[in-house]
Amino acid sequence: MLEDWTRANLALWNELTGIHERSDYYDVAGFLAGKNTLFATERDEIGPEVAGKTLLHLQCHFGLDTLSLARMGATVTGVDFSDEAIAAARRIADQAGIAATFVQSDVAALPDTLQGSFDIVFTSWGVLVWLPDLERWAQVIAHFLAPGGVFYIAEFHPFAYVLAEDASAGDLRLGYPYFHDPEPLAISEVSGSYADRDATVRQPVQYEWQHTLGDVVSALTAAGLTIDYLHEFPFMEGALDWPCIVKGPDGRGRLKGMETTFPLSFTLHARR
Amino acid sequence: MLDDYTRANLALWNEWTDIHERSPLYDVEGFKAGRTALHRLEIDELGDVRGRTLLHLQCHFGLDTLSWARLGATVTGVDFSVKAIALARSLADELAIPATFHCTPLDDVERVLEGSFDIVFTSYGAIEWLADLDRWAAVIARYLKPGGTFSMAEIHPLAQMLDEMPGRHDVWFTERYFPTGEPERCRVEGSYADPDAVVEHDVCYGWPHSFAEIINALIGVGLRVEYLHEFPFAVCPFWRWMVREQDGWYYLPGGRRDVPFTYSIKATMPVTRGA
């Protein structure tokens, strides 16, 4: 049931928030000292557009990217379904002295909670797997975009989610379906978090939905957005501890044996 | 002037035309008896074509083109193979289906074809023969009327990255996804329509294309992408052990539906460009 799946994922993300706040991966101290937490991909592509704009950040976790976008000159609102994450985001905003609004809400329910419209809607890295319904997601994006407003996403590539857990160079087997299934994948026995594999996580199971590239494109266009570009990259940013991923000197992860030839991430820029 | 790669491909396609005319996959006799060469997929996606003008790019010997004509479209087909176009014309004559066919490489269509169309259509194993998708998209935009529709069904780029696992009826990733601009040289055995056929011109060149390249090419000429759909079945067997099911499509064995083999895109030319 959707409520059960969402409840489990919420328990997970509430628990992860505490772990992530203390993790080297998220480096809150570095952020407070001025570090921009955006990855180069989105910093290069959407960064130049944000100054002076109102920006809505969907699935913002505990807000470090949201606050980094505020430092780059955007007037920011961050949304996440985890109350722990939103509490942490507000605390860090206070501590850093950055003006920001944080709202606790599911993406799907956001129009019930939040008023207004935005110049930019932004979302990034590991967000889509937590959404059961991309059509609703795209409608929410369109709802909050001002006419002419811009939507931007940087995300792991759907092809990458097809690889078997234990795939390796020369043995790149498929382990998961490419296509969306309304019934999510139940994932258990995850050790720790992507930000700290040694952490103890009590929540025993998480639920993830695959979405294809076509699902993303078609949901956005059906909601009335016009695509400006789709980019694909042979690297991923962020969580790089998949067994088949090697981390390069640029901090990006690439697929062992197909370092320049396998798509691991995409970005999409669209407007209303 | 054709480059060496396209010349090699042309020799193969001329040879393939004879083979395909006699192949069960193309089933020319069935077509003559009234069977459509189109799949439910492209018919459903394009909708009612009655009274609309349709340009079919890379039409081979025209069975799909003529099937659109039977559904009421006023059709024009173009292909670079002189043999294919000769056969298309003779079939149109024999069946008294009104249709116009031009033999021309895609790059040179404008030398032989004027006017504009309500629909531009292309399908299954077409764009892999093209080096330059920006040029392809420019041709599409050139021939679409304002408000016109571009519709394509093609082989999925993920499927192009797969090969069979040795000794198993299963697949794994072996091939590159990102285009390099350089063609891939392939040794041909028979044809996709008849793997046992003997071909003299057995080397061809293909260009893999990524989704980003395809979609950005269409956006770049001012088209609005309406959707990208993906399907777990193939138009022809990639490997001999793929299974043809009741619906006529080829699937991985065991009822598998987890791997994409086909996609379709619909895009429209805005009534006011750039709007």
Q: What pLDDT sits at residue B273? A: 52
CA distance A101 to chain B (A): 34
DSSP string, B52-82: -EEEEES-TTSHHHHHHHHTT-EEEEEES-H
Q: What pLDDT sits at residue A90? A: 98
DSSP state of B183: P
* Test mutation, B164, B211, B218, B226, chain A, max A CBs within 10 A: B211
Q: How far apart are CA A228 and CA A213, in angstroms?
A: 15
Burial class (CB in 10 A: 0-12, 13-18, 19+), B212: buried
Region A80-90 average pLDDT: 98
Q: Domain tally for chain A?
A: 1
Q: What pLDDT sits at residue B275? A: 43
Q: Does B7 touch chain A (CB under 8 A)?
A: no
* Test mutation, B160, B165, B168, B178, chain A, max A CBs within 10 A: B178
Residue A238 CB partners (closer than 8 Å, separation 6+): A39, A125, A126, A194
CA distance B36 to chain A (A): 28
CA distance A80 to chain B (A): 29
Nearest CA in chain B to A180: B258
- State the DSSP H helix or E strand holding residue B229, giving kind and residue range, or none if neither: strand B224-231
What domains are there in chain B, each with its CATH number? 4-268 (3.40.50.150)
Nearest CA in chain B to A212: B230
Strands annotated E in chain A = 54-58, 75-80, 101-104, 118-124, 145-156, 172-173, 185-188, 205-208, 226-233, 235-236, 245-247, 253-255, 265-271
CATH classification at residue A34: 3.40.50.150
Q: Please name the residue ranges forming H helices in B204-260.
A: 211-220
- The reply to whether residue A214 touches residue B215, judged by beta carbons under 8 angstroms, is no
Asked if residues A137 and B134 have their Cβ atoms less than 8 Å apart, the reply is no
A230-268 pLDDT, tens per residue? 999 999 998 667 889 999 999 999 999 999 999 999 999
- Strand A205-208, strand B243-244: pairing: unpaired
Q: What pLDDT sits at residue A192? A: 87
Region A113-127 average pLDDT: 97
The interaxial angle of helices B82-95 and B4-21, nearest 10 deg, is 30
Handedness of CA A40, A44, A48, A52 (dihedral sign): negative
Q: What pLDDT sits at residue A189? A: 79
Q: What pLDDT sits at residue B1? A: 65
Instruction: Supply A82's token pair.
Output: 């985890």
Q: How far apart are CA B161 and CA A262, in angstroms?
A: 9
**Residue A177: which domain range?**
2-271
Asked if residues A77 and A118 have their Cβ atoms less than 8 Å apart, the reply is yes
pLDDT at A220 over 50: yes
Instruction: Supply A73's token pair.
Output: 């000159």
Query: Which residues of chain A make contact with B232, given a CB cutoff of 8 A?
Result: 178-179
Tell me which residue in A177, A218, A266 faces B228 most closely, judged by beta carbons: A218
Q: What is the pLDDT along chain B (275 residues), one digit of tens a residue?
A: 678 999 999 999 999 999 999 999 899 999 999 999 999 999 999 999 999 999 999 999 999 999 999 999 999 999 999 999 999 999 999 999 999 999 999 999 999 999 999 999 999 999 999 999 999 999 999 999 999 999 999 999 999 999 999 999 999 999 999 998 899 998 888 898 888 898 888 899 999 999 999 999 999 999 999 999 999 999 999 999 999 999 999 999 999 999 999 999 999 999 975 44
Residue B202 CB partners (closer than 8 Å, separation 6+): B12, B187, B188, B189
* ipTM reported for the complex surpasses 0.90: yes
CA distance A268 to chain B (A): 10
Query: Which residues of chain A make contact with B224, given a CB cutoff of 8 A?
Result: 221, 226
Look up the pTM and report it.
Answer: 0.96
3-state secondary structure at position B212: helix
Mean pLDDT, all residues of chain A: 96
Tell me which residue in B212, B229, B260 faces A230 most closely, judged by beta carbons: B212
